[in-house]
Structure 1
Amino acid sequence: GKLPGIYGGSPHSCSGGNQSTGDNCLTMRLMWRQGGGGEVYAYIPVSDNSDFCKNPNVQCNDQFGKSIGRGVLYFPPGTWTRIDMVMQLNEPAGYNNGILNVYINGLKYISMNTIPYRSTGMVGFQGLMFSTFFGGNTPNYATPVDTSVFFRNVQLSVGEPARLYEGNGGSAAGGKIVGSRAVGTTAVVSVFVALLGVFFS
């Protein structure tokens, strides 16, 4: 099933099999699979025979999104998991030099610097695509039992250090700082940091 992530271009355009052409949209969402396995699920403008798709940590298909780091990430049920996604757009547009770093509970599990997020400067990171669901779009993806997912301390930052707080509902006044990471970039608008506290049961 899908978890929140970042979108660019028209909201919800790059999902459900609607592909990125490089000048229309992009999405970089988290995803979980059977047994708590995780990955980054990407709609970006690459073809199955591209060098990007030949990376052993990438699985591509032309019908749906690209899987990055499948099996590298793990979301254990019954406990909170802290997730940091640090992304920088490819610059100039059309170059394969976009950055993606994913941290789980403060440890880096995914590090890539060859991502072609876009082919034109008209597309950039625009906001948080916040939705979670089982699927796929067919009944066999539905859960056979009641299942819950909880989110807390969701933060989105552009070009500045992002801090994740715990305790007292995540407020800065009453909470304890558990992490801070500065992001270096040449263009302030090119970097987003999404911090997600995810609890599976």
Structure 2
Amino acid sequence: MHPAAILIHAALVAIILFCSLTLAQIPTRINIIINATPSATPPDKPLHWEVDSFPSSIAQLKEPLDLPTHTNVTINATSSASPPVEIFHWEVDSFPSSIAQLRKPLHLTSSLIPGKNPFDIVADPILKKSKGRVLRSLYPAHSYAYSGDEHAAFTAEPLPKEAFSGPKSRYIRLEYQMLFKPGFNWVLGGKLPGILLGSERGCNAGCSGGGSADNCFSTRMMWRPEGEGELYLYAAKSVYFPKEKAETCKRSLDKRSPKALFLLEQRAINPYRIPEDEDEFSIESSSSGIVKRAMSDDCLQGMGVKISPGARNLCNPAFGVSIGRGGSFKFKAGTWHNITQIVRLNSKGKAIRDGYLAVYLDNKPVIQAEGLVLLKNGYEPKSKTQDNIVKFKFSSFFGGHTAKYATPNAQWIAWKGFKMATSVNNIWK
């Protein structure tokens, strides 16, 4: 080999070794460039060369590496646009033997009490060979929203506060599996779990029951007659329904029951009074009397909403927005289903329309909506007044507020595979 080529090769090896020793001190990307132009006459140097130590600076490498004047060495270190961000995730793939032991693994805000909260834990009722237990929500005969029976409900805060303080805090992914009892009687519908961001106190009422939802949002689901599914969205109601009178009640110190608060709120809704039981229609007061009109999807215009063929959207100014009802979004009794929700919160600022929400049923998309306003003033991860902890809101019951929603007999739904993460990517597969 030509002596100059030997020197160049040795220099390249030495520099790569040097960079590997100091890589931890260089931000992200290293470019090593060696430009060599062999001279017509090779330099008169011995053919044996050895370097067993390096100086403190690459500027001092020329002499120990015996680099000829025609060799240029440059090292460029370039920082990445943003540092790596930790992805927080939570997963529950098995359950203890009693619901009294659920508080720690589910990160519940309060404990569940056997005999009071309508849950139990049993072997998988379908997959007989499965060794894992599943959680069941129980619905007594003749129960509905206001029958007086305890609802199958809990609130979990599975991710730490640090998960919602950085650039990834705008992204949330929720996943769970559910099984409707074989032969499940759908009646007129009922509630299913989703994501909640915001306080459960004050006028927002946990973003349910007709609350104003300007400073919180919830992405609960619903089943409807014949097993039709839908996203039951509460979010920034003054943005979607600007004609509705703003809510003025002050609940932060109100100790009254949820039903009393619900009735109080209904008196504040004007000019709309929309019974949830008539969710295909709005009832609007006017100078000529009460007018009943079929509800439309006007509140979602311009928001890039995509739903499955045959599905529909209904804008209810009092009780949330139904998105993607029906079509291929349909549940089957006696079959395990997988539900995945992906949410991107809208940016800080007044009604900035850059929120995103998608729903997958058994890994197939059934709803996609972009250009959403989920929080009226956007998400501020460092806010001291905004409740920034994203929650898993489990709330399931038949209803509807009238007895025509009641289940005629005792029924159950089984649950497993609870997961939540601050990433839109599927980190479990």
Moved more, 105-114 or 42-51: 42-51
1:103 to 346, 360, 380: 360
Q: Which residue of 1 aligns with 2:217?
A: 26
Q: Structure 1 residues 160 and 62, CA, compared in 2 at 3 Å: closer, same or farther?
A: closer
Structure 1 Cα separation of the partners of residues 234 and 220 of structure 2: 9
Structure 2 Cα separation of the partners of residues 124 and 68 of structure 1: 25
Letter in 1 for 2:223: W
Q: Is the 8 A contact 2:342 2:424 kept in 1?
A: no
Structure 1: 5+ residue stretches without partners: 165-179, 181-201
Letter in 2 for 1:30: M
The structure richer in strand per residue is 1
1:13-92 aligned at under 5 Å gives the runs 13-20=206-213, 22-23=214-215, 25-45=216-236, 46-47=240-241, 52-54=299-301, 57-72=312-327, 73-92=329-348
Q: Which residue of 2 aligns with 1:155?
A: 419
Q: Is the 8 A contact 1:38 1:75 kept in 2?
A: yes
Aligned length: 163
DSSP 3-state at the match of 2:300:
helix
Moved more, 5-14 or 154-163: 154-163
Letter in 1 for 2:209: G
Q: Is the 8 A contact 2:233 2:321 kept in 1?
A: yes
DSSP 3-state at the match of 2:404:
helix
Residue by residue over 1:66-90, the C-alpha shift from the partner in whole angstroms, topping out at 9 and shown as x without a partner, is 1011113111111001111111111
Letter in 1 for 2:419: Q
Residue by residue over 1:108-141, the C-alpha shift from the partner in whole angstroms, topping out at 9 and shown as x without a partner, is 1111112110122336561110121011122221
1:8 to 178, 188, 197: 197
Residue by residue over 1:10-55, the C-alpha shift from the partner in whole angstroms, topping out at 9 and shown as x without a partner, is 13521111121x22x2111011001100000011112178964347
Moved more, 76-85 or 48-57: 48-57
Structure 2: 5+ residue stretches without partners: 1-189, 244-296, 306-311, 380-385
Aligned residues with identical type, % of pairs: 34
DSSP 3-state at the match of 2:411:
coil
DSSP 3-state at the match of 1:131:
strand
Structure 2 Cα separation of the partners of residues 87 and 125 of structure 1: 14
DSSP 3-state at the match of 1:117:
coil
Structure 2 Cα separation of the partners of residues 48 and 110 of structure 1: 24
Letter in 2 for 1:82: N
Q: Is the 8 A contact 2:192 2:395 kept in 1?
A: yes
Moved more, 33-42 or 89-98: 89-98
Give the CA deviation at 1:155: 0.8
Moved more, 137-146 or 46-55: 46-55
Give the CA deviation at 1:62: 1.4
Q: TM-score, normalised by structure 1?
A: 0.72
Moved more, 3-12 or 81-90: 3-12
Q: Structure 1 residues 90 and 52, CA, compared in 2 at 3 Å: closer, same or farther?
A: farther
Structure 1 Cα separation of the partners of residues 376 and 242 of structure 2: 17
Q: Which residue of 2 aligns with 1:171?
A: none
DSSP 3-state at the match of 1:129:
strand
Structure 2 Cα separation of the partners of residues 125 and 90 of structure 1: 15
Q: Structure 1 residues 44 and 160, CA, compared in 2 at 3 Å: closer, same or farther?
A: closer
Letter in 1 for 2:198: G
Q: TM-score, normalised by structure 2?
A: 0.35
DSSP 3-state at the match of 1:74:
coil
Give the CA deviation at 1:95: 1.1
Q: Is the 8 A contact 1:47 1:53 kept in 2?
A: no
Q: Is the 8 A contact 1:118 1:124 kept in 2?
A: no
Q: Which residue of 2 aligns with 1:184?
A: none
DSSP 3-state at the match of 1:108:
strand
